[in-house]
Amino acid sequence: MATKLRSAATWERYQHEPQRPAGNCFMCEIEAVTVITEFTHWRLIENNYPYDAVAEVHHMLVPKAHASFDEGVSEAAKEELGLINAAFEEGGEYDCIMQNYPVGQSQPQHLHYHLLTWKRV
């Protein structure tokens, strides 16, 4: 889905990303992502195709256990998510946490949240 969230250069790179075989989730492959921080049930990772037209920083928070749109997320992971979210809110390093609905997700097979710091104009 084309949007104005990515720069033209990032969109071009994104369009040419090789398709992965079914069941091959890049968010589950630790070697396919750049991990910023690990929590007990979550990873904070770099977004390889950031919303760089609108955001200075674009990270993603993903559960370590494969889950899709809140299905399969353990109660312990949900509890930790609340603590992580509160810490990020208090820390002020991000402007928002965002989750696209399944219809707008390019990676619907693995739950993920976008953590953004907007560009200042």
What residues does each domain of the chain span?
8-16+26-118
Report whether pLDDT(2) > 60.
no
CATH class, range 8-16+26-118:
alpha beta
Measured CA distances, 82 to 18, 32, 97 (Å): 34, 26, 12
Q: What are phi and psi of 51, to 5 degrees?
A: -80, 65
The CA-CA-CA angle for residues 13, 16, 17, to 5°, reads 90
* Token pair 């299905």 in the structure block, residue: 71
pLDDT tens by residue, 30-81? 667 889 999 999 999 999 889 999 999 999 999 988 887 667 788 999 999 9
User: Who contacts 23 (Cβ-Cβ below 8 Å, separation ≥6)?
Assistant: none
**For all residues of the chain together, what is the average pLDDT?**
83
- Cα–Cα dist 30/41, whole Å: 14
- Is the pLDDT reported for residue 109 higher than 70? no
